[in-house]
Each structure stands twice: as structure tokens, then as C-alpha cells.
A = this chain, B = another copy of it.
């Protein structure tokens, strides 16, 4: 199986209230030293081994169904699932 991981994060200029909430909750946890928390999405797309052009296919999927280009950026990472075989 071949996997492409799509990572979708809000653009840096877009406020992330959910991340702010986590950051503001840290003092209560007694955790110090965190400057910033940003919460995005991580999507695992698993392809049949015989599928070609998985990276460009994943790019189309991300473009159309996973990320909103106005507010989000995404990156693609092809993972080699056979690396441990």
C-alpha cells in the first residue's frame, strides 16, 4: 500500500481560536514555555499499490475536498509503507 499524508494548516495570518484555547489552558495544567498552538488537519490517503501518480492525485483531492485555499495551506508527504518489510 502507498500512502500520501496531507497536512492542512490555517495560514499564519488567520487566527486559530481553537489553538488559542489550548494555549490559554496551559497555565492551569502547569505547563510553561509554549509560545503558540496551531491546530490543523492530518489526512492519510491510502492508495492501491498499482495506482500511479499518487502524489498528483492526492494534490487534487486536497485542493478540492480537504483544504480551503483562501484560509489554509497544505503540504503532501509520500510515505513508504514498505520500508519496514
Chain A residues with CB under 8 Å of chain B are 1, 7-9, 14-29, 31-48, 50-51, 54, 57, 60-61, 64-71
Check A65–B21 contact: CB distance below 8 A.
yes
Closest 7 CB pairs of A and B: A33-B51, A24-B25, A42-B42, A36-B46, A21-B65, A25-B25, A24-B28
| Chain multiplicity (copies) | 4
From the candidates B14, B47, B54, B68, name the one contacting A17 in the complex (CB within 8 A). Answer: B68
Main secondary structure of the interface of A (DSSP, over half): mixed
Nearest neighbor of A56 in chain B, beta-carbon distance: B31
Check B44–A37 contact: CB distance below 8 A.
yes
Check A48–B33 contact: CB distance below 8 A.
yes
